[in-house]
Amino acid sequence: MHWITRKPKKLKFKLQSQTELIVREAQSKIFYPINWWESQKIDISKCIVINGFWRSGTTWLQDTLSATTNAKAVFEPFSPRAGYFYKAIPEINPPQHDFTFLNLLIPYQEQNFGEGSYLKFIVDKALLDLLPHRNTQMTIRPISYYSRDRVVVKFVRASLCLKAIYNDWPVSVIHIYRDPRALIHTIMRIQYWRAIFEQLSLSKQLLQINDGRKNYFSRWEKEILELDQQNLISRLAGYWALTEKYILDSFPNQQNNHRFSIVNYDEMVLEGPAYLKRVLAEMKIEFDNLALEKNWSRRSPTSVEKQVQTYDKRKSMDRLYSWKSELTQSEQDAIMDIMKRFGLDYRLRE
């Protein structure tokens, strides 16, 4: 299939003008002393970590939870754009150090971060909202914001160390997954996202980094090498499937675990606020019911679509299922075959 990629409108993709960038950069530095002082009041046990693959709804969920629980929001602390991640490169020792490769790198840590780990330092500072950079703070903040006593941190690069985060800090962890056909369709149709993943190599990301990950992923070495020879859709499906598989293996038998939950983006969008209310209640996370209802329909800052002001189930369904008419049947089948090949048992809506 010849993809006609959608180019985001000027300045729409980042959803901030140059002025906003300057203000956020200045704000993160000027108000850092206030933030540092107020960080002493943060209760880590009230903090929430959100994780999911790229384009899974992580930013939208973070915005909703930040407003709903009156929490500060820290955006992508492992992103190379924020700069902190580069200091952790010596302990990861990847085969490439260029930005394109590092931008897709998910740090690995099986159970706990070791003492002196810079990755641990990054997570610790993120949970205290002490990473002053415009790329970790995606909004211009009012003064009242700094008095909040909890933080919501969101990752797309934490699937392979999520259990270590869970073990090392008493936080609530929410992993969000989305139908891989919809997720991959979104990446493929937007030029910006497609360009990010064009050079994705599963073998380099999962087998050639000497930090322990090969011990887990080598059981699929043949499949990984085969996928690396296929098109971008298959490689994306493989990266999604293998990292999701790792999550499921990291958190077995979690039905009664109030600190960890896996949520389905598609079901959450279709069911509306009731879905998230149920999840938060099960996790014993206090939230403002009116704030959740008010903020539910706000679109993610990383979306290139126009903002929808009211919850509209019909529009939500159109948004969720546009992949059905834009992915070929063979592409849909390839994604599902890869999902089944790696033993994923997620229930997906048809």
Q: Is the pLDDT of residue 24 over 80?
A: no
Task: Determine the pLDDT at residue 299.
Answer: 58
Of residues 132 and 281, which shows the higher confidence score? 281
Asked if residue 314 has pLDDT above 70, the reply is no
Give the Cα separation of 42 and 147 in Å (integer): 9
φ, ψ (nearest 5 deg) of residue 333: -65, -40
Domain-by-domain residue ranges, the chain? 18-341
Q: How confident is the model at residue 112 (pLDDT cuts 50, 70, 90)?
A: very high
Confidence of residue 4 (pLDDT cuts 50, 70, 90): low
Judge contact between 247 and 175, C-beta under 8 A.
yes
Using a 10 angstrom Cβ sphere, with 0-12 exposed, 13-18 middle and 19 or more buried, the burial of residue 285 is: buried
pLDDT of residue 142: 73
The amino acid occupying position 210 is N
Rounded to a whole number of angstroms, the distance between the first and last alpha carbons of the chain is: 22
Read off the pLDDT band of 307 (50, 70, 90): very low
CB 180 within 8 A of CB 335: yes
- For residue 94, pLDDT over 90 is answered with yes
Copy the structure tokens of residue 325. 């008419």
d(CA 165, CA 127): 11
Write down the pLDDT at residue 309: 42
Q: For 40-57, what is each residue's pLDDT tens digit?
A: 899 999 999 999 999 999
Residue found by looking up tokens 């971060």 in the block = 113
| Highest mean pLDDT (candidates 60-74, 131-145, 251-265) | 60-74
Query: pLDDT: is 312 or 228 the higher one?
Result: 228
Q: Which amino acid is at 65?
A: L
Q: Tell me which residue has tokens 């490439």.
A: 96
Each residue's pLDDT tens digit, 275-290: 999 999 999 999 999 9
| Dist CA 65 CA 347 (whole Å) | 25
pLDDT on residue 202? 98
Q: What would the CATH number be for the domain defined by 18-341?
A: 3.40.50.300
**Structure token pair of residue 130:** 């002490």
What Cα–Cα distance (Å) separates residue 87 from each residue in 70, 121, 176, 260? 31, 10, 28, 29
Tens digits of residue pLDDT in 233-246: 999 999 999 999 99
Give yes or no for residue 308 having a pLDDT over 60.
Answer: no
Which DSSP state fits 80?
A: G
